[in-house]
Amino acid sequence: MCTIITAYQAEATIAAAVRSALAQPQVSEVIVVDDASGDATVERVLEVGATDAVPDGRLKLLRNATNLGPAVGRNRAIAASQAPLIAILDADDYFLPDRFAHLEGVQDWDMQADNIVFVSDTAPPLGPESLPEAQAQSWPLSLKAFVRGNLSDQGRGYRGELGFLKPVMSRAFLDAHGLRYDERLWLGEDFDLYVRMLQCGARFTVTSQCGYVARVRAASLSGAHRTRDLAALITACEGHLERASPADPARPVLQAHLDELRGRYYLRRFLDVKAARGLGAACRYALASRLRAHPILRGLAHDKLWRPLRPPAVVTGPRLLLGGQGPHAQL
């Protein structure tokens, strides 16, 4: 198995991420792609290789001359790797010990994901003993259930999209269908690849057992996206809908997800126009189309009325991504 870590300005967390991957007996390759960091990310990776006596070839460091985004880095690492299985690890995060041990007994899959536990970026390292006890379950995840699990839930108070899942992926399946990360995407690149895999017939298995720790921080790229990143993701999701037949049971949720993204984009464009040309120009942009006006008004009402009444969610203890989900995701 190859673990791929793309890193940008990750000097504070990259060593822990790399060490957690190297500690997994099933991992034969750890490939770190530094995306032109301006801090000591590269030095931290080299220190791990020097101080941990990593066997020759097991830890590889690739460096981008310019900042190209995570999709480019992951594709570069896939091309440089040989292992039949690919696991993605964000540079902020880390694996729990023996993460992949409980994945080995599951058969007939092309994508296999375990539960994720979210912790504060200031929390000390988490051990398996800190997790709530739960009965181990495994179930297939359909395209419809996966996309539905990425629709927003304003009442949830925290982010819980299934796009956060980090499945182990079969290289053979990716190669057979010519699939790689869409290098135009800086937002939602995981979601896009998983959808395209599922549309190609991938068997996606999920287990309730947890082996991945995600640190939550306010400055993450996925939490502070740019308007152009949303536009690129919308283009990708329009492709998902085009590939879905009229009879595809996932088509309604693909449309709902695309509509949500467009609404977010219209609101971001409204705010961009307001900042650049003033409120009058922004209002003209909003009123130029009924499709724009409703999501913009709804978004403004949410930000001005609902959000001040509800303080932002703060991770004070471990929280499981699949805490409220389970085998019903087959539907």
What percentage of the chain has pLDDT greater than the value 90?
A: 68
Confidence of residue 329 (pLDDT cuts 50, 70, 90): very low
pTM above 0.85, yes or no: yes
The per-residue pLDDT for range 257-287, each reduced to its tens digit, is 999 999 999 999 999 999 999 999 999 999 9
* 3 state SS of 197: helix
Label residues 252-272 b or e (16+ Cβ within 10 Å = b). Answer: ebbeebbeebbbbbbbbbbbe
Write down how long the chain is: 331
> Token pair for residue 321?
């991504």
Residue 186: CB partners within 8 Å, gap ≥ 6? 69, 70, 71, 221, 225, 226, 229, 232
Cβ atoms of residues 90 and 212 within 8 Å: no
The per-residue pLDDT for range 229-252, each reduced to its tens digit, is 999 999 999 999 999 999 999 999
Give the max Cα distance, the chain. 63
Cβ atoms of residues 19 and 53 within 8 Å: no
Neighbours of 113 (CB within 10 A): 24
The per-residue pLDDT for range 8-60, each reduced to its tens digit, is 999 999 999 999 999 999 999 999 999 999 999 999 999 998 886 676 779 99
- Domains in the chain, start-ordered, CATH in brackets? 2-219+317-330 (3.90.550.10), 227-309 (no CATH)
Residue 38: CB partners within 8 Å, gap ≥ 6? 9
Rounded CA gap, 16 and 250, in Å?
A: 38
Which ranges in the chain belong to alpha helices (H)?
A: 14-22, 41-51, 70-80, 143-148, 171-176, 189-199, 227-243, 251-277, 279-287, 290-301
In sequence order, what DSSP letters do the residues of 211-246 get, joined into one string? EEEEEE-TT-GGGS--HHHHHHHHHHHHHHHHHS-T
pLDDT at 309: 53
pLDDT over threshold 50, residue 328: no
**What's the angle, vertex CA 49, arms to CA 43 and CA 51, rounded to 5?**
95
pLDDT over threshold 80, residue 320: yes
